Amino acid sequence: MKKLLPWVLLSFVWAAQAQSFPTRAVTMVVPFAAGGPVDTVARILAEPMRKSLGQPVVVESTTGAGGSIGVGRVARAAPDGYTLSIGHWSTHVVNGAVYPLAYDLLKDLEPVGMIGGNPMIIVAKPGVEAASLKELVAWVRANHEKVNVGTAGAGSSTHIAGIYFANEIGAKLQFIPYKGTGPAMKDLMGGQIDMMVDQLSNSIPQVKAGRIRGYAITAKERSAAAPDMPTVDEAGLPGLHIAIWYGIWAPRGTPKEAVAKLNQAVRDALADPDTRKRLGDLGMEIVPPERQSPEALGAHQKAEIEKWWPIIKAADIKLN
């Protein structure tokens, strides 16, 4: 009884705090470098979430090990709703099959809400002469051991998509890891690396501005954000479909009142016309309201882990 008392008191304190949550700024941890796709989505959501919560949402990058350092920071944070993890398919599914994580992606994180997703796009540095995906594939095959492909680290979506692309065309590629595809994009534009299979949201502004070359998107349908860009099916690599879905999590044990308020802030942000336009312009498709709940995110993440871990483990992805 004596031992139980402090816990009972503590849960009363937490419950009381959860009622008034939030009373200070909420930190959203981006597990990749600033300027990349996760950072961009976090910054687009931060302002409408601030309006909904009545407190600032501060975006912070904690990088390394394919995003697993940043997610680990949140898994170990106090379960009070003030530290959130924003991430996607690779950080919250794939990393568990690639890294010996010191946390459990399902048991140590509390789903807050699903955001939406985007396909990837095959892009190359500006000097590459290939005018179509078929010509790019021919160029990569002819130069294969020399072609450098930027990634956001082992197990990141850009790495897995790059491996998938290499396997499809039967080429051996050199993967160059960065702390995120923000810095990788700078080197692609500068010609220091040759190509990437990148998230559409990161590449499309640069393709449209003519700073890099875009060849095909990894989806069955064209994107409204880039209607002239063919799909892989149209361009010659049928079936190379990859979609990167995003979500927000809190540490496991966060009071349900706080999770509900955070989920409402995500929903309010995703309903905001300006936010929808900004995400849509980048090729991000927002999930419908019935899929924005914590339960829907948790169920989707679990199903994705069950689907992908055997595939990723069989692919025996090397960490260096």
Half-sphere exposure of 264 (CA within 13 A, CB side): 12
Half-sphere exposure of 41 (CA within 13 A, CB side): 32
Query: Given the structure tokens 């919250």, which residue do they identify?
Result: 92
Residue 237 is given by DSSP the state -
Which ranges of the chain would DSSP assign to H, the alpha helix? 4-20, 37-53, 68-75, 89, 95-98, 133-143, 157-169, 181-190, 200-208, 232-235, 256-271, 273-281, 294-315
Binding characters for ligand MLT, 225-264, by CB under 6 A (x = yes): ----------------------------------------
Q: Which of 18, 38 has the CB closer to ligand MLT?
A: 38
Binding characters for ligand MLT, 35-64, by CB under 6 A (x = yes): -xxxx-------------------------
**By CB under 6 A, what part of segment 72-91 binds ligand MLT?**
90
Write down the least CB distance from residue 128 to ligand MLT, Å: 21
Neighbours of 166 (CB within 10 A): 18
Tokens of 261: 């308020």
Segment contacting ligand MLT by CB under 6 A, of 34-42, 106-114, 187-195, 215-223: 34-42
Residue 270 is given by DSSP the state H
* Residue of the chain from 98, 122, 152, 166 that contacts ligand MLT (CB under 6 A): 152
Q: Which of 18, 240 has the CB closer to ligand MLT?
A: 240
Segment contacting ligand MLT by CB under 6 A, of 75-83, 152-160, 220-228, 261-269: 152-160
User: Which residue, among 226, 125, 123, has the nearest Cα to 165 in the 3D structure?
Assistant: 123
**By CB under 6 A, what part of segment 154-173 binds ligand MLT?**
156-158
Write down the least CB distance from residue 37 to ligand MLT, Å: 4
Interface ranges with ligand MLT (CB under 6 A): 32, 36-39, 90, 152, 156-158, 180-182, 199
